[in-house]
Amino acid sequence: MIGGSQLMLGKSSWVLWLIPFLVILFASLYYVAHLGKKKGKPEIEVMHQFLLKILIE
């Protein structure tokens, strides 16, 4: 909204140049979080089984 209003007023709309960089940043953060979740899944399974064993016994 800020970039659009600046553009309509004829001012410099530098905010619009941030959009591609922010999209790339958020996509890379999502990808890293997905990899971390995938890598940590075996450890979570071990902890889950341990917790079930403790609670059932």
Q: For 3-35, how does the pLDDT look when each residue is reduced to its tens digit (9 = 90+)?
A: 888 888 888 777 888 889 999 999 999 999 999
pTM listed for this prediction: 0.62
pLDDT at 37 over 80: yes
CA dihedral 5, 11, 14, 20 (to 10 degrees): 50
Q: State the Cα–Cα distance between residues 41 and 35, nearest whole angstrom.
A: 10
Residues making up the chain, counted from first to last = 57
Chain-centroid distance, C-alpha 50: 30
Q: State the Cα–Cα distance between residues 24 and 33, nearest whole angstrom.
A: 14
pLDDT at 32: 98
